[in-house]
Structure 1
Amino acid sequence: MSNVEGILGLAARARKLAMGDSVMKSIQNKRARLVIISVDTGDNMRKKIIDKCIYYQIPYVFIESSEVLSNAVGANNRKMVAVLDKGFALQLQTCLKG
């Protein structure tokens, strides 16, 4: 899992991640290439994000916990992030699949 954390850290330093309220905006603006959701996100928020991703045809994946996500991006208490760069999104999808 450290490979995923490394890629997320690089994306965060390159400012290619949307966090917080800007995740929903980036989905609606179709700037998001991949949405990463932690499994401990609340049911209502998870449903909202997944519904938006499906409607706007943006892929999404789940990560094991918000602690892993928060440590990887260097921010406190992050439940989800949107990857804005196509290259980072492809790398993360391949790492999370296999």
Structure 2
Amino acid sequence: MNKEEQLLNLLGLAQRAGKLVSGEDLVIKSIQSNQAQLVFLAQDAGPNLKKTIEDKSRYYQKMVVDQFTTHDLSLAIGRQRKVLSVVDSGFAKKMRSIMS
């Protein structure tokens, strides 16, 4: 299993464990309230969404992962989403270790 598949599997696990926030407004709130540990943004997200999420993440010093498409993220969590945030430090730590 490659790194991308491992990350997508972990996203699915985080979703089932209730440790994932999805949707633009909820993700922005999780970034602002410092709950977001890691932010996933689809490569094919619209320019407005990309700018909003990247600006908020930069300001609040959150890492943004943009290597997946909307299709990849949606398949991993079982619903159509362009942006996700991981709100559990354990999941985020494991995902960072896979990416490095």
TM-score when normalising by structure 1: 0.91
Structure 1 contact 35–83 (Cα < 8 Å) conserved:
yes
Any unmatched runs of 5+ in structure 2? none
Cα offset, 1:56, TM superposition: 0.8
Partner of 1:4: 7
- The CA distance in 2 between the partners of 1:71 and 1:96, in whole Å, is 20
Any unmatched runs of 5+ in structure 1? none
- The CA distance in 2 between the partners of 1:3 and 1:41, in whole Å, is 22
| Helix, strand or coil at the partner of 1:35 | strand
Cα offset, 1:82, TM superposition: 0.3
Letter of the aligned partner of 2:17 in structure 1?
A
Structural mapping, 1:11-26, within 5 Å: 11-20=14-23, 21-26=25-30
TM-score when normalising by structure 2: 0.90
Partner of 2:96: 93
Letter of the aligned partner of 1:56 in structure 2?
Y
Partner of 1:39: 43
- The CA distance in 1 between the partners of 2:83 and 2:96, in whole Å, is 15
- The CA distance in 1 between the partners of 2:97 and 2:40, in whole Å, is 13
